[in-house]
Each structure stands twice: as structure tokens, then as C-alpha cells.
Amino acid sequence: MADISYIQEGRASTFRQQLGLAAKLALPAILAQLSSIIMQYIDASMVGRLGTDPAAAIGLVSTSLWLFWGTCSAITMGFSVLVSHRVGAKDYAGARDILRQSITATVIFSLVITAIGIAISGSLPRWLGGDESINHMASNYFMIFVMALPMLSLNYLAGGMLRCAGNMKIPSLLNIMMCVLDVVFNYLLIFETRQVSVGSLSFTMPGAGLGVTGAALGTVLAEIVTACTMLNYLCRHEKGLALRGTTGSFRPVKSLIFKALRISAPMAIEHAVICGAQVMITVIVAPLGAVAIAANAFAITAESLCYMPGYGIGDAATTLVGQSHGANNPHLVRRYGYITVGLGMFVMTVMGVILYVTAPWMMELMTPVEEIATLGADMLRIEAWAEPMFAASIVAYGVFVGMGDTIVPACMNFGSIWFVRVPLAAWLASYYSGGEPSAAGLKGVWVAMAVELTFRGSIFLIRLIRGRWSR
């Protein structure tokens, strides 16, 4: 099987070797993405045991958190792509210079975003149309996460650097560790001290009984431990990128920052407008009631098990295309573009079938409330039909990012979600609820989502096949 050195050294490889390398890089990335989603699934399941209001509180602000997380993640991607180009050209000294400056820039940017998040945390649930019974819980949950953004951003940066250098194994293992830590911390922080029985053995399990606040603290603690470990490995042990024993300045250079921002800024703006649209969807869902809010949040988490493999393959596509571009091999750039998109569509089609079949069981694991579980399962079966084309948009986006081509894909994502999903969701929510706010309107929101994802995948495929992006 070919390895990443085939690209860097310009050696010839067969289609079978290229497919094998794509799968080899994608598998750890998929496992990392799945571990992250399993963590969210466990969080949602634990909070779901507390009742409808705690679940609705988290669901109310979840899309706003994605906005803050994703903006920080997008900013780090510009530096990671530049590192993949330097590694592809075997310029490791240049890659280390980018790494040093990226650490400083990431900390500064994330502190600014954190300050904004803290300033709006008290008013955000009210702006989103939340009920007073859940607004305080939602506000606390949101503020805890945004206060941890500097460390989370460094986690994104370190993981992205390792993946773009071709190291998928360490980020995957550390994300699995984060999942385990999250379970432990949440179990201790969410629930009160209680008696636990395992067979004939009974013992007292300590607990803080913090509920929704405990869910936020548990996840944040797990991510901080992971960030410290990931950054330590990158800076001390990663071949070609380790800073130990090397010299250089951490002070950002204007020309490099602008070059990274040319890649990152469209991604960050695109993520912001997409999450803005998702926040607008939350505003559409909020009047439908606490059951609809909770079912929507749980269904989004459950569906993530399907599309996160696509993001893992998209990460592999960014690495392969980025290093092929750095090695000045346009033929290989196109080959890996087509191979990774095809692989992503195949995997997510299989996951879509699994989602459709297991939807009721997945929702029952997350909540004991039958009304929420039934409604959420119906939404998952609507979404399952869109998974193949959703895969096309996710992985093709990763391909374009590997080339540093982010402006046009960002505009495509923006236009699709704002001009197709949002207006269609508003109309169909009203149509299915009969003009009066009710949980039945949630079906319209998810039908709109499935239609929009199919449309988005189609336009990304057309752009990929036309091939201009590779030139």
C-alpha cells in the first residue's frame, strides 16, 4: 500500500494504492469524528434522563455554540492548509515557522471570540425565543463552553496540524480518550450521589448533581485535557513539526497571517452565515414547544453519527489534495478529489440505510420521553434520504480546502442554506402545523433540510467534475 511519502517524493502509484491511501488516512479521521459524536450522544442521553426542560435548554443554544466553535476551527484551518503545502514540498523549517505563528494568532483570536460570547450569554436564550423556564440553564451552559474556547481552539489547531502532516493516528486516539473522559466527568458532575447496583454488588456513586451545568463542565474538562495532550505531542514529538530543539519567533508576520486569512476568512464567514441560518432554524423551531426543541436537538445529535464519517473523509481529502498540490502534481490532485468524494458518498449511503432502520432505537437511547423519541425518529427517517448528497458536499468541500480554494465553496454553502433551507423551513413548518405552532411543524423543518442538502450536494458535484478548482 502507498503511504504519504509517495506524494512528497513524486513516486508513481496505482489507483488501488491511491484508494488504499485515502482509506488509510480516512479511517482514523472517521474514528475521531465518530468518537466526538458518541461523546455528544452520551451527553444528550445523560441530560435526556433529567427531563424535557434540561434537554430543551441545551438544544436551544447548541446551534449558537456551533457558530462559536466553528468560527475558531475555521480560523485554524488556514494555517493547517499552509502547513500541508509546506510538508508536501518537504519544507519542514517553513512548516514550523507557520506553526509557531499560528499558536499566537489562534490564542489572540479565540480570546476575542470568548469575550463576545460572555457578553451575550445572558441575553442569548431570550433572543432565540426560549421559555423562561429553560433560559437560565441554557445561558449557563453556553457561557461555560465559550469560556473554554481558547483551549478548544488550540485543540482544533493541534489536531488540524497533525492531520495535514499525514498523522491521523494520534488525533484519533486522543479523541477517543476525550470521549472516555467525557463519560467519566459527566457521570460524576451531572447526577447526584446515588446507590448503584451491579449484579449482587451495591455501592455509593458520588455525584455533584449539577445537571445541565455539569454536562457543560464535564465536556469542557475532557476537551481541555485532550487539548493539552495534543499540543504537547505536536510541539515535542511530531516528526518535521516538533518545535523542541528548534528556534524561531512566535510573533505573527503580516504576510503569513494574510495568506492564512485568505484561506480561513471565507471559511469562517461561511461557517458564521451557515450557523446564523441554523440559529434562524432554531428560532423557527422554538415556538413549536419544548417537545419539538428537544426532539430536534436529539435528532441532530443522532444524525451526526451518519455524517461525521463524511467529515473524517473530508479531512483525509484535505491532506491528500493539499500535499499533492504542494508536490506540484495536478493529476494526483484531481485523482484524490474524485476518489475521496466517491468513498464518502459510498460510506454515508450505507450509514443512511442504517440510520433509517435504527432511528427509533437510537432516539429511545437518548430520551425516555416517548413523545420526544417518536417525533425524533420520524425526523431521522426523513433525513436519511439526503445522506449520499450530503456526503458529496462535505468531502468535495474538503477537496477544495486542500487547494486553498475556499471563496467559491463558501458562497455555494451560503446560498444553499439561506436561499433554500431557511425560507423552505419557515413555509413548511407553518404548512405541517396548520398555521398554529405545534410539534407537527418540525416535520416541515426536516423536509426542508433534506431538500437543501440534496441540492447542495448536486452543485458541489458539478463543480468537482468540471475541474476548474484543480487549476
386-403: pLDDT as tens digits = 999 999 999 999 999 888
d(CA 226, CA 218): 13
231 Cα distance to chain centroid: 19
| Secondary structure class of 238 (helix, strand, coil) | coil
pLDDT at 1 over 60: no
Burial 86-101 (b: 16+ CB within 10 A, else e): bbbbebbebbbbbbbb
What pLDDT sits at residue 89? 84
Give the domain ranges of the chain.
5-470
Q: What are phi and psi of 205, to 5 degrees?
A: -100, 115
Locus of grid cell 471565507: 266
Could you give the count of Cα atoms lying within 13 Å of 201 in the half-sphere of its Cβ? 3
- pLDDT of the residue at 8: 64
Q: What is the CA radius of gyration of the chain?
A: 22
Query: Could you tell me the three cell numbers for 23?
Result: 482509506
Q: Is the pLDDT of residue 343 over 90?
A: yes
Q: What is the mean pLDDT of the chain?
A: 86
The answer, yes or no, to whether residue 35 has pLDDT greater than 70, is no
pLDDT at 110: 94
- Between helices 15-48 and 212-236, what is the axis angle to 10°? 150
Q: What angle do CA 232, 95, 408 make, to 5 degrees?
A: 110
Which of 410, 171, 463 lies closest to 274 in space, CA to CA?
410
Backbone angles phi, psi at 203, to 5 degrees: -150, 165
Residue 29: pLDDT above 90?
A: no
CA distance 254 to 272: 24
Q: Which of 305, 292, 289 is nearest to 372 (CA)?
A: 292
Average pLDDT for 126-148: 89
CB 460 within 8 A of CB 393: yes
Cell readout for 65 is 455554540
| Residue 36 pLDDT | 61
Distance CA 449, CA 455 (A): 10
Q: CA neighbours within 13 Å on the CB side: how many for 348?
A: 33
Give the E-state strand segments of 240-293 in sequence order: none
Who's near 199: CB < 8 A, 6+ residues apart?
none
The residue written with cell numbers 488556514 in the block is 78
Judge whether residue 39 has pLDDT over 70.
Answer: no
**Residue pLDDT, tens place only, 68-83:** 888 888 888 889 888 8
Residue 123 pLDDT grade (very low, low, confident, very high; cuts 50, 70, 90): very high
**Does residue 50 register a pLDDT over 80?**
no
What 8-state DSSP symbol labels residue 468?
A: G
In percent, the amount of the chain with pLDDT more than 90 equals 35
Rounded to whole angstroms, how far apart are CA atoms 35 and 228?
18
* Grid coordinates of 150: 481558547
Determine the average pLDDT of the residues in 25-29: 71
